[in-house]
Every structure is written in structure tokens, then in C-alpha cells.
Amino acid sequence: MPKKFIRRYLPEHHVIKEHKHLQFLGEHLHDPNLWHLNRRSVAKAVAVGFFCMYLPIPGQMIVAAILAILSGANLPLSVVLVWITNPLTMPPMFYAAYKLGAWVLGTEHQVSPDIFTFSGALHEMGEIWWPLLLGSLILGITLAGVGYVGARLLWRWIVIKSWQKRRQRLPSDGGDRPRA
């Protein structure tokens, strides 16, 4: 079952409820629906997490938590998926987002991948901001949609496979059992 696999890697409820940066959400963190794992809440969480991981802003986890509360997504999974964006993955992700945004806008300004270091990005922010934001939004929305559909399909496929395995374990009705 997908629940067991996901639950194994998610932080405990009390860890997120007691996180100092999420305390402003107050009683919303105690809504039990934010902690359930089902096909809909997981698919929404994947969409929220994938969208927020491409936001080129600080505080992606806070945005993910707020969107999870507003959409009824699984809160821990939404926040954890934002961690895909980390210091190792940020430069290639945001460079790809910039290149996509520059291509869509037809921008001629060429930048090298080293501009996506913190100091390089601050220096060139005026030139790269709009292409970066546009590319990030395009990639975030696209990945959110693909992640939502993919999570629903994967969940359904896993459930179907588990039912098939269960059916194979059950003895077939060969006619030798008495009918009630």
C-alpha cells in the first residue's frame, strides 16, 4: 500500500506542529485532514510541493504549508517535497528555468551557469529576474500538473496490483466448497 511507504519517510506530526517557522499557522496545523494519506491528499501534496520547489523565493516551505492548508493537501508531504530544491539542485533547476523564461520572452541576454550562485544572482538580478520568474512559474505549474496526475495514476496502479496479489492468494472457487 502506498500509505506505508510514504509514512515511513515523512516526519512525525508533532515535529511539524512544533516547528518554530510554522507556528503562525496556529490551529490550522491541528486539522486532522492535513495529516491523512489518501490518493487525493497525496496527489494534491505532490502538486503543491512541485509547484513550490520551483518558486525562486526564500521561504518555499512556508508557501507550501499555506497552499497545503488552503487546498487540503497532505501537509508533511507538501513541505518535504520542497526539499528537492536544495543547494545542490538549485543552480541547475533555476538555470533551466531562466533559459526557458528567456526563450519564451525572446531575451537576448546570455548568462552562464555560474551566475546562479548567490553573489552572481544578486549582481545580475535586474537582468535575470523576469525570465527566471516566468520560467520558474511555467516549470512549477507544469510539474505540479504532471505530479498530480502521476501521483493519482501511481496510487491507483499500486492499489490495483495489491488487489491482484490478494486475489491470487485467495483460494479459487472450484466448486468443492459448500455454498451458504
Query: Could you state, in order of their start, the residue ranges of all structural domains in the chain?
Result: 2-161
Collect contacts of 32-36 with beta carbons under 8 A, ≥24 apart.
33/72, 34/68, 34/69, 34/72, 34/73, 34/74, 34/75, 35/74, 35/75, 35/76, 36/74
Question: Residue 32 corresponds to which cell in the numbers above?
Answer: 486532522
Q: Mean pLDDT over residues 48-62, rounded?
A: 92
**Considering the entire predicted model, what is its pTM?**
0.73
Q: Which pLDDT does position 52 carry in this prediction?
A: 96
Flag whether pLDDT at 9 surpasses 70.
Answer: no
According to the model, what pLDDT value does residue 68 have? 92
Instruction: Tell me what pLDDT residue 1 has.
Output: 45
Say what the pLDDT of residue 175 is: 52
pLDDT in tens, 68-110: 998 989 988 998 999 999 888 898 998 899 899 999 998 876 6
Burial annotation 33-45 (CB, 10 A radius, 16+ → b, else e):
ebbebebebbbbb
On whether the CB atoms of residues 140 and 53 are closer than 8 A, the answer is yes
pLDDT range class, residue 44, cuts 50, 70, 90: very high
Q: Tell me which of 65-69, 113-117, 167-171 is least confident.
A: 113-117
The per-residue pLDDT for range 132-149, each reduced to its tens digit, is: 999 999 999 999 999 999
Of 82, 12, 19, 14, nearest to 47 (Cα)?
82
